[in-house]
Amino acid sequence: MALTREQMAQRVARELKDGYYVNLGIGIPTLVANYVPEGIDVMLQSENGLLGMGAFPSEEEVDADMINAGKQTVTARKGASIFSSAESFAMIRGGHVDLTVLGAFEVDVHGNIASWMIPGKLIKGMGGAMDLVAGADNIIVTMTHASKDGESKLLKHCSLPLTGCGCIRKVLTDLAYLEIEGGAFILRERAPGVSVEEIVAKTAGTLIVPEHVPEMTF
C-alpha cells in the first residue's frame, strides 16, 4: 500500500532531532508538525518572519498580525522570536536551518528540483522555495512517486523549469524513501506492502537497489 499523506508526514518526522530548527513547506510538510516524536523539541521557522511557530489559534486568540508563511492565522510558542523578511532569509540562505521539508513536481538524479512552474499554466511565483533549496544543507522532498497517469516524477533530468540545481539528496514518496548520490537514486526503504519491482517500474531515473531494502513500519 502506498503511504497516506499522514504516514508520509510521520516518516519525515523520524528525521527530526532534538534542538533542530525546521522549515516546513505547505501541504504534507506542514503535517510533520503533528508527529514530532516524544522527548524531542524542535523550533519551526516560518519564512514570513517567525521562529517558534505554535499551534493554530483558538477563536479568542485569532490575531490578524499573527500569520504563517501559508497566510494562515497561527500562534507563537514559548521561546519564539519575530523578525523581518530579510532576517528570516538570512537564516535560510545562511544555512542556519537544520532541516527543510518541501514538496515538488519532479526531482532528478542530479539533485535538481522543479516545484514552482508548469509552462502553459498560470505561474503564481516561487515564493521562498528557491531560497530554501539553495540555502539548506538538509532537505527532504515529499511528493508522490508518479503522476495519476503513472508517469514517474523521479527522473533522469527534470523536464520542468528548476527551483534549484544539485541541492536535493533525500526524497520521500508515497512508495519509498530514497537518497540521491553519484547521479542515481538509491532505494533505502519501501512503503509497507510495496514491492521493489513496483518502485523500479515507477522510477525513470537511474535507481540503485541495495541487497536489503527494509519495509517502513508504522
| Residues binding another protein (CB under 8 A) | 46-50, 55-59, 62-74, 76, 82-86, 88-89, 92-93, 112, 117, 122-131, 134-135, 161-166
Question: Which residue's C-alpha cell is 527534470?
Answer: 158
The answer to whether 61 is a known catalytic residue is: no
Distances, alpha carbon 52 to alpha carbons 20, 47, 81, 101, 140, in Å: 11, 11, 7, 16, 20
Lookup: cell for 212: 536489503
* Min separation Cβ 26 and another protein, Å: 11
CB closer to another protein, 2 vs 134: 134
* Min separation Cβ 112 and another protein, Å: 8
* Min separation Cβ 20 and another protein, Å: 20
* Min separation Cβ 122 and another protein, Å: 6
HEC string for 151-180:
CECEECCCCCCCCECCCCCEEEECCEEEEE
Between CA 23 and CA 171 the distance in angstroms is 16
Distances, alpha carbon 47 to alpha carbons 36, 53, 87, 149, 180, in Å: 20, 10, 9, 34, 26
CB closer to another protein, 72 vs 159: 72
CB closer to another protein, 125 vs 182: 125
* Min separation Cβ 206 and another protein, Å: 20
Residue in 6, 15, 38, 47 annotated catalytic: 47
CB closer to another protein, 2 vs 82: 82
Query: How does DSSP assign 76-95, residue by residue?
Result: EEEEEEE--HHHHHHHHHTT
CB closer to another protein, 2 vs 126: 126
The angle at the Cα of 162, spanning 159 to 165, to the nearest 5 degrees, equals: 110
Active site residues: 47
